[in-house]
Every structure is written in C-alpha cells, then in structure tokens.
Structure 1
C-alpha cells in the first residue's frame, strides 16, 4: 500500500504548513459527519436490521478508523517522530486491513442492490440480518488476505533485531525488498479485477431490469442504478490508489518537491475524497436515512436551545 498518509516523509522537523492544516480540517469535518451518521444509525431499529444500512455503517466505521490512523501517521511522520518498529508494524497492519475493507464492502453493497432489484423475491432470504453478519465476516476475511500476505512475507524476511529499532512510522517499513512490493501489487490488482467485474456485472443486469420496468418500479430501479454508478465511482477512486506507488516512485526520480506535491494530491483525491462519498450516497440520497438524520440533528439542536433558555 502506498504511504499516502505520510506526505513529507524524510524531511526534517519544520513548522506546520498550509497543506497539513488543510488535511486536518478535512479529516475533522469527515470524522464529525461520520460520527453523526453512525449515531443516527443506532438511533433507529430498522437501520440495524436492514442489510444495506448495516453495510453502510461498516463503511463508516472502516473509513473513520482509516482516516484517524492515517492522520496520526501523517502528523508523526511530518514531525519525524520515531517509534519501535514492532509498534509501527501493528499500526501499519491495521491501515492495510481497513484500506481494503471499504472497497470490498462497497462491492457487497452493490451486490445487495443487484439482489434487491433483479431478485426481489429472494432478497428477504439472501439479505436477512443473520446472513448480513456472515457477510461482514466474509468481508473482513477477504480484506485480511493482503494483510496476511504482506505480514507473512515481512516476517519471513526481517531479522529479529529489526523489530527493536526505532524508525519513523511509514507503511513502507513492511517492504524490505522490491519483490515484496511486486507481490503486494499483484494481490491488489487481482482484487481490482474481481471487484470491477462484480460492479460491471451488477450494472449490466440492473440496466436490463430498468429498461424493462415501468411506473414506480422503473423509478425505483433507476435510482438503484444511480446508486450502483456512485458505488462504482467511489470504488474506482479507492482502487486507483493501488497505482499511486508506481506514479510516486517515478516522480521521486525527477524532483523531490514535485513528489511531495503529488503525494499530497493523491492523499486528498484517493483517500479523503472516496471516504466523503459514503455519507452522500446513503446519508443524503437515501430518504429514510436522511429524514432520520435530519430529525436527530434538529432534535439535538432543539434540546440544546431549550437547555440554554432554561
């Protein structure tokens, strides 16, 4: 995985610049929105009994964790803070795992829309609350494969003395040899192909149903199709990050300042941007969730105003 969370790796201690401040503001905004959405999810019983909302909550939790940890790594790296390698391995392992959880969950959400639209009679059976629990376990199991591959190769290659060294924590610390990067890239590209195939399959099937539908069914089907398109765009942004290391490595050979700027743009575009689309797709476009969110937010505001008056 690209260490997009460390924008200025390798530089000496320096005052906080505008880029870091902008990232902190964006991260705080996204985390605040995600927290509000997560609280709304647990406020209404129908949400945590419906597959698409449960998977939505999984993406919110995954994105929040990834944003928080990657931001901590960015700050520590910016100020060249060192820590034991074994501690950095634990942090990096969490980042690698949840870096994959979001795109895999998005693929599962797309498949859920496919079942709801193309197999409506079996939707209740295939997308029950119990089957959703198994789905979440499968999502984390599939997401753990790259994590297990990277750690297994690292443990087989690193000496025992390496774990006690103090280093600036970057996720590249798990890559000791170039061939390790090649294997990791191969695993990610395999996932890329599988998830893109699933998205295209669902899009084509839903498109056929949308053309054949009529009236209210047609309106509902086209809305589901737009959701799949948004998932595809969000997934594309997540997966393009897999190519960022190759771009950054080529740019680094040209100019260090250009490399820092490209890495900063990659972080904003392919880590922050995809994670702000989840609230848009299900938090604002979904009428049921939007009304619950609006009611919860206004209720909290009303209570706060009443308390101030008292």
Structure 2
C-alpha cells in the first residue's frame, strides 16, 4: 500500500522539478535579451543621428516588434507552466499580440532588404516613402497587414455559442480550444505565403545589388556592405522559419527518445521560437560598426560607474571604521 501512495508523490515532485528547471532556463535568457535590447534602444534614443536614417528606424522597429513577441511568448509560457487559467476574453489579446508580432517579423526583413535596394540603386532619387521622415507610413502598413490577417484568422474560427467568454476560464495557450480545419488551413497558407514572398524579395534584392556592383566602380564598399546585409536578412528569415520545423522535430523526438509531451514542447519552444528571436536582432545590431561602437562605449561607461560606486562604498566603510 505504501508503494502505491509514493508513486503519485514522486511523479508530482518530478513534474514540479521539471517546471522549475524550465523556468530557470527561460527567465535568465529573457532577462539577458531585455538588457541587450534596452542598451540598443538607449543608444538610439541618445544618438539622434541614428533616427535620421531609414535603415536604423526600421531596425528600431524590429527591436520593438521582437521584444513584444518574446515578452508575450514568455508570459504565455509562464502561464502554462504555472497552470494559470484566464477567461477567454482576457487571453485573446495576449495571443493576438503574439500572432501579429510573429507575422510581422518576415515583413520587416523584406522591408529592410528593399530599403537597402532603394538606397543603392536610387541614392539621389529615393522615393519619398523610403525617407526617414516618411518611413512611418511603411511601418504602419506592415502593422495593418499583420493585424488584418490575424483578425481574419480569429474570425473564421468556429466558436461554441454555449461558451461564455467572460466567466469561462481555460489555459492561455496558442490553441485555447479545438481549432477548426479552416483556421488551421488559413494559418498555414498565410505563413507559407509570407515566408515565400519575403524569400523572393530577399533573393531579388540580393541579385540586383550583386549586378549593380559590376557597374559601380567608386562606392564598392557600401554596395558590398549592402549585399552582406541582405544576406543577413536571408539568414534571419531562416531563423524565423525554424518555428515551422516543430512538427518534424516532434516526430523525430518521439521516434528516438521517450520524452514527455511537455518536454518536447519546451524543447521546440526554446530552440525554434525563443533562440531565433533572441539572435536575430543581436546579430544585426552587433554587426553594424557604428552601433557596435556606441554599445561598447555604453557598456564601458556602465561598468566604470559601477566600479566607482563600489570604490566609494568601500572608502566610506573604511572611513567609518
């Protein structure tokens, strides 16, 4: 009889330990990401010359979008780990933000590649929409496109009229209830369309810039940097597409390892959703020489201030003793 009573307790303790480990892995990773993003945004806010360039404005927009995406994703992760239940009406806004920012990422990459294309091929006759004082029109258009597709996705869902959205509580997950086949098909079609269009745009801009390098003889350095930037956007797109390999990795893990479903879900979330969103802005930001220099100065200033404060406290302690 004692063995039967100990089994549930052991299973519960193992599950609690697994939850603690997962949270301890995600939270420091998330805090490190927030520190890096905060430093970058502080550099942009303190150095006004960055906000006078369309390329850096789009990069700031990508930072904000990825921050919202990771923040909503981590909140959903913590709610699932803590088995927190919400009313449907309170859960939908968080899911909506997560879905919109996820779809926004490939659109931003395509826009940044097109901006490099316009800057290289039309340096003196740049269209008004691509100038720094009008780039907000393109940014607003990207938000409208992402929001419209997400609204359509939620509107075609078949909801149960007997379920009240206010008192009914359920886990706040990516799929809070059984999704209809039409919604699953629409979501898959939109994802494939987004990433296919962005891949074509990145390939097109890279080929045009590559052909332009054969014509230009003077400013080959900036053209070469633009080519590398477009290639980087292609790599960022590949990182974003890792999220669509989750069904494949789930099948492979099930075949070769006896993992629990929640462990498989966490592995896929951390490796194919969280890590790519973390690396994407950091790779682009640290690659830029001007931005990297200001970030290095900012970190050095912070470390010097901390050293001076520690020395001051030590001196005050010695004088008091």
Scaled to the shorter chain, the TM-score interval is 0.7 to 0.9
**Match of residue 284, structure 1, among 286, 305, 309:** 286
Q: Which structure has the larger Rg?
A: 2
The alignment status of 1:173 with 2:176, answered yes or no, reads yes
Q: Match for residue 234 of structure 1?
A: 236
Q: CA, structure 1 residues 128+260, in 2 after alignment: closer, same or farther (shift >3 Å)?
A: same
Q: Match for residue 294 of structure 1?
A: 296
Structure 1 segments (4+ residues) deviating >6 Å = 251-256
**Match of residue 79, structure 1, among 82, 90, 111:** 82
CA contact (8 A) 2:84 2:171 kept: yes
Query: Can you list the C-alpha shifts for 1:126-179, whole angstroms capped at 9, x where unaligned?
Result: 42123211011011111113211122123x534262413111110112653233
The alignment status of 1:43 with 2:46, answered yes or no, reads yes
- Say which is worse superposed, 287-296 or 135-144, in terms of deviation: 287-296
How many angstroms does 1:98 deviate by? Answer: 1.0
Q: CA, structure 1 residues 65+233, in 2 after alignment: closer, same or farther (shift >3 Å)?
A: same
CA contact (8 A) 1:115 1:123 kept: yes
How many angstroms does 1:113 deviate by? Answer: 0.9
How many angstroms does 1:229 deviate by? Answer: 1.0
The alignment status of 1:247 with 2:248, answered yes or no, reads yes
The alignment status of 1:194 with 2:197, answered yes or no, reads yes
Q: CA, structure 1 residues 204+80, in 2 after alignment: closer, same or farther (shift >3 Å)?
A: same
Which runs of no fewer than 5 residues in structure 2 stay unpaired? 1-10, 313-321
Query: Quick one: distance in 1 between partners of 2:250 and 2:159?
Result: 23
The alignment status of 1:123 with 2:126, answered yes or no, reads yes
Q: Match for residue 221 of structure 1?
A: 223
Q: Match for residue 152 of structure 2?
A: 149
- Say which is worse superposed, 71-80 or 280-289, in terms of deviation: 280-289
CA contact (8 A) 2:106 2:194 kept: no
How many angstroms does 1:213 deviate by? Answer: 3.4
> Of the two structures, which has the highest relative contact order with CA contacts closer than 8 Å and spacing of 6 or more?
1
Query: Can you list the C-alpha shifts for 1:71-110, whole angstroms capped at 9, x where unaligned?
Result: 1111110121111111111111111111112221111111
Task: Report the TM-score, using the length of structure 2 for normalisation.
Answer: 0.83
Q: CA, structure 1 residues 214+266, in 2 after alignment: closer, same or farther (shift >3 Å)?
A: farther
Which runs of no fewer than 5 residues in structure 1 stay unpaired? 1-10
How many angstroms does 1:112 deviate by? Answer: 0.6
Query: Quick one: distance in 2 between partners of 1:146 and 1:191?
Result: 11
Query: Can you list the C-alpha shifts for 1:170-215, whole angstroms capped at 9, x where unaligned?
Result: 0112653233211111122111221111111111111112344335
CA contact (8 A) 1:251 1:259 kept: no
Q: Match for residue 18 of structure 1?
A: 21
CA contact (8 A) 1:158 1:176 kept: no
**Match of residue 207, structure 2, among 204, 209, 216:** 204
CA contact (8 A) 2:239 2:280 kept: no
Q: Match for residue 5 of structure 1?
A: none
CA contact (8 A) 2:88 2:168 kept: yes
CA contact (8 A) 1:30 1:276 kept: yes
CA contact (8 A) 1:40 1:293 kept: yes
Number of residue equivalences? 297
Query: Can you list the C-alpha shifts for 1:8-48, whole angstroms capped at 9, x where unaligned?
Result: xxx98623343332222211111211111111111111112
Task: Report the TM-score, using the length of structure 1 for normalisation.
Answer: 0.85
CA contact (8 A) 1:227 1:281 kept: no
Q: Match for residue 318 of structure 2?
A: none
**Match of residue 274, structure 1, among 276, 279, 301:** 276
How much is the aligned-residue C-alpha RMSD, in angstroms?
A: 2.6
